[in-house]
Amino acid sequence: MTDTIGLLHPGEMGASVGAAARGNDGQVLWASEGRGPETRARAAEAELTDVETLSALVERSRIILGVCPPHAATEVARAVAGQRFSGTYVDANAVSPATVRDIQRIVETGGASFVDGGIIGPPALTRGTTRLYLSGTESARVAACFRRGPLEARVLDGPPGAASALKMAYAAWTKGSAALLIAIRTLAIHEGVDAALIREWELSQSALPGRSAGAVRSNARKAWRFSGEMEEIADTFAATGLPDGFHRAAAEIYRRMTDYKDAAHVPSVEEVASRMPAGAAPHEVTAAR
């Protein structure tokens, strides 16, 4: 029997992490107070144990995993520290090493030990798709909770910050290059050269017609939560003395796609392009629903 784990919160990714830990004979707790019906449904499907309140979760967990959109990572850690959690807190979010160090300070001040985590891959349903990278002294203890099952835990030889730096570097390409492709197709459409670009790509960059259309299709409805991650990546570049413009721009592209959150349809490249440029602020973009 591994340590009892508390999970904050069962989003799509978090629920898969919780299910993976539960599959190791671990009990995984969550706190339903203030959460919506979709979160409850995911937690039920992942067979997580509802302890209702954060204070009950803190009291009963040896390890707490924070899995949430990057903009909420610090706030979640602060809530846990406010309950004087004295176990091991794992921040598994897509945040910069600097944000990780802030979170470490917050949870250690509250009395906990800290492990930095970074998840690479889609929600873990089958083994081989998704890895949880860990760094910090208690990493092996956390990794033990995932010995079997779909999520592969890997301990990095480095201090807290290393796992998040790896996640930042990885997503800098996957989500950064997708935003670049969306921007390029938008430019080409507005300049009247999109058909010519596609023909040239077919000759000399044959993966790009499909990849650019896929960048729109698979990211439109998730874009709302990518802009925060792009800002964290930009901060990571800036902290190393590298230009942060790639990912400030990527954040802006995804911000302009925010209204596709929960959209009933997957938009075409042309639809996204037509709503994208001329400096439209998110609130000026209206997705056809």
- From the CB of 174, what's the least distance to a copy of itself, in Å? 7
Contact 273, 255 (CB under 8 A): no
Which residue, 203 or 264, is less far from a copy of itself as judged by CB?
Answer: 203
Helices (H), the chain: 12-22, 37-45, 54-60, 73-82, 97-109, 139-143, 162-190, 194-204, 208-219, 226-239, 245-255, 269-275
> Both tokens of residue 265?
């349809």
- From the CB of 161, what's the least distance to a copy of itself, in Å? 8
Which residue, 116 or 138, is less far from a copy of itself as judged by CB?
Answer: 116
Going by the DSSP 8-state scheme, the letter that residue 279 receives in this structure is T
C-beta pairs of 142-146 under 8 Å, 24+ apart in sequence: 142/63, 142/88, 142/90, 142/115, 142/117, 144/2, 144/3, 144/24, 145/2, 145/3, 145/5, 145/21, 145/24, 145/26, 145/63, 146/20, 146/21, 146/24
> Both tokens of residue 197?
């670009």
- From the CB of 20, what's the least distance to a copy of itself, in Å? 18
- From the CB of 216, what's the least distance to a copy of itself, in Å? 14
Binding site residues, a copy of itself, CB under 8 A: 97, 120-121, 131, 133, 156, 158, 161-162, 165-166, 168-170, 172-174, 176-177, 179-181, 183-184, 186-188, 190-193, 196-197, 200-201, 203-205, 208, 236-237, 240-250, 252-253, 276-280
Which residue, 87 or 161, is less far from a copy of itself as judged by CB?
Answer: 161
- From the CB of 202, what's the least distance to a copy of itself, in Å? 12
Burial (Cβ within 10 Å: 0-12, 13-18, ≥19) of residue 12: middle
- From the CB of 196, what's the least distance to a copy of itself, in Å? 5
Which residue, 3 or 271, is less far from a copy of itself as judged by CB?
Answer: 271
Which residue, 37 or 279, is less far from a copy of itself as judged by CB?
Answer: 279
CA dist 121 → 31, 118, 124, 178 (Å): 25, 10, 8, 15
Q: Which of 278, 8, 257, 15 is nearest to 125 (CA)?
A: 15
Contact 153, 2 (CB under 8 A): no
Contact 200, 152 (CB under 8 A): no
